[in-house]
Chain A
């Protein structure tokens, strides 16, 4: 049974459409990440699921119950906010128990649930403190605890790690994943950070302009993006795009400025029957150099233009068919500017998009 079901959710602010007839099924226990750039409607969608925003059209089901018109407290959700949103005048304990007291949960039950949440999140020593006396990471733990004590089926996270520094962010990320593995609750997590999305998600929904572009497992989203937007949004450093022509037939290939990339190994979809202007996308980490490149279906010699050492590996900028082309090499490989080097890749791992609509061919 689906835990959360959205049927044709639309939301308009005046004449501006934030969400456009959106459908989404989230099975029980899934960790779903809504990923997208600012203003794509991902936080808005989460607020609609929480009941903090009224939808203009459509239905929301949680655990098979139509909650479209229900108050947030009656939907069986717990929510964690980016700014923590802890009640400043209450102690940590007061923050955790506020919702339970509103729901008239008996006292010993409140104490039991707080103890359990505090133990899980390791915030027992902080219970008597006020939020002002906590660090950012501790505050976000308390905020997660506040959702936890509600004993709900669905957790909603609204960019919970965006206010933390890089180190804390990676720590809490693991902790959220551990929490999910332990609780097995449905979790919906909004972020603009692709690393968070890729590491946490069972499935990722990439959004743009109020529409879900692709909904799939992280691996599929990363390796087989359905359109140019998804391909460009995920991956850091970003995917290389070469503009040219797709020429199908008995000897399919992609040609750009005198360069011909064989596409025998590329699985083209239904829209790849005719020749058309297209963009060829290949990820920098799928490019091999030197000896390793020789054995690949496609290889070409390029001149190194810029070298960017990044610690674990090095990003090299060059030109292929007169267009920018980057690739990753191991940091041990010493490359110098102006050096000629053979690069190659397997077109079977690449992506091809039509130039007009940006859809995968």
Chain B
């Protein structure tokens, strides 16, 4: 009935030609001036960003004689993985000649405890600030957030003294402590906002049901917060893995993180500059954050969006 009714309306419309009534999804042009412009721009920009990566990969697969020819954009004539092996296990920094592997394991030993510790503390902080409003909670939160805006350089030297006095200067433990503390403001903000966005009645219901501070945290809040934990893990892994400043200031050469060691390899002034080894070392160092992004990209976006709903 409805169909014939519609048809009748169209038939009554003199401007409508038979068989040409719009119906169903609106047709879209694949190639239009607008699309060409958009995709063209995107393509150029993508190329612009990918070019350095291409050069790095290509160079790292060449031997030194080939590099000396100077054609940095040309693909390798003879592919060799020698530079990668050398960068990982033989490149020299200072007195050690065991390559980046030492720095890699140092970085792992710094990153893993720092990420776990900072997220564990910050999530409880955020939960307490969002749900267990205590007297002065807002002032406490403001001060904590203010910490995110103080330039690190201001605090570098005081922390050196602090670590020296408590006996952790130059150790991995000291660096883990520094990373944990400096991750606190932004992570607490992240968790507080996420927990405040969860319905308050859920928290009330759990209280009526007799769950306490930790009961609600572990049994109600944690299972609902996977996305935001993924976001926090990614932020912390990339941030701590890529950190150079704290690593170089608070540790000694034998416990230098990977980034510092990479810098020492690339910037060494003695001997021949082995561009292929440098490129390989840089790629190895950057691989970890890259892998983390690729694995959890989808969850990351979902978590960011979830946290952004309510501030």
Contacts and interface: CB of A to CB of B under 8 A. Distances in A.
A81 B224 contact: no
B204 A89 contact: no
Interface in A50-85: 50-52, 71-73, 77-79, 81-83, 85
Contact of A83 (B199, B207, B210, B211): B199
* Main DSSP-derived SS at the B contact region: helix
Interface in B202-241: 202, 204-211, 215, 219-220, 223-224
B224 A89 contact: yes
A52 B206 contact: no
Nearest to A79: B208
Nearest to B199: A83
B78 interface: no
Given A52-B204, A87-B220, A89-B223, A73 B199 contact: no
A190 to B, nearest CB: 13
A238 interface: no
A88 B224 contact: yes
Contacts of A52: 204, 207-208
A81 B223 CA distance: 21
A78 B208 CA distance: 7
A98 B206 CA distance: 8
A83 B199 CA distance: 8
A87 B220 CA distance: 7
B201 A102 contact: no
Contacts of A103: 210
Contact of B209 (A82, A88, A102): A102
Q: Which of A71, A73, A78, A146 has the most CB of B within 10 A?
A: A73
Contact of B211 (A82, A86, A89, A98): A98
Contacts of B215: 102
Interface string B172-212: 00000000000000000000000000010110111111110
Contacts of B210: 71-73, 99, 102-103
A83 B223 CA distance: 19
B208 A82 contact: no
* Main DSSP-derived SS at the A contact region: loop
Interface residues of A, number: 24
A223 to B, nearest CB: 36
A85 B201 contact: yes
Interface residues of B, number: 16
B201 A82 contact: yes
A145 to B, nearest CB: 12
Given A85-B199, A87-B220, A89-B223, A73 B209 contact: yes
Nearest to B222: A89
A50 B208 contact: yes
B309 to A, nearest CB: 15
Interface string B121-157: 0000000000000000000000000000000000000
A79 B205 contact: yes
B205 A85 contact: yes
Contacts, number: 56
Contacts of A78: 208
Nearest to A84: B201
A99 B223 CA distance: 17
Q: Which of B199, B202, B209, B223 has the most CB of A within 10 A?
A: B209
Contact of A72 (B201, B208, B220): B208
A78 B205 CA distance: 9
B201 A81 contact: yes
Contacts of B202: 85, 87
Nearest to B209: A99
Nearest to A77: B208
B121 to A, nearest CB: 23
A50 B208 CA distance: 8
A103 B204 CA distance: 16
A146 B209 contact: yes
Contacts of A79: 204-205, 208
B209 A98 contact: yes
Contacts of B220: 87
Q: Which of A77, A89, A103 has the most CB of B within 10 A?
A: A89
Given A85-B199, A87-B202, A102 B208 contact: no
A356 to B, nearest CB: 41
Contacts of A87: 202, 205-206, 219-220
B235 to A, nearest CB: 24
B135 to A, nearest CB: 11
A81 B204 contact: yes
A88 B221 CA distance: 10
Contact of B208 (A83, A88, A99): A99
B208 to A, nearest CB: 5
Interface string A209-237: 00000000000000000000000000000
Nearest to A78: B208
A83 B211 CA distance: 19
A143 B87 CA distance: 61
B218 to A, nearest CB: 12
A72 B207 contact: yes
A93 B116 CA distance: 33
Given A83-B199, A88-B224, A102 B205 contact: no
B137 to A, nearest CB: 15
8 contacts: A81-B205, A85-B204, A85-B205, A86-B205, A87-B206, A89-B223, A98-B206, A102-B210
Interface of A: 47, 50-52, 71-73, 77-79, 81-83, 85-89, 98-99, 102-103, 146, 150
Top 9 A-B residue pairs of the complex, sorted by shortest distance between their CB atoms = A99-B209, A73-B210, A102-B210, A85-B201, A85-B205, A89-B223, A81-B201, A72-B208, A79-B208
Given A79-B208, A87-B205, 15 more contacts: A50-B208, A71-B207, A71-B210, A72-B207, A72-B210, A73-B210, A77-B208, A83-B199, A87-B202, A87-B206, A87-B219, A98-B211, A99-B210, A102-B209, A146-B205
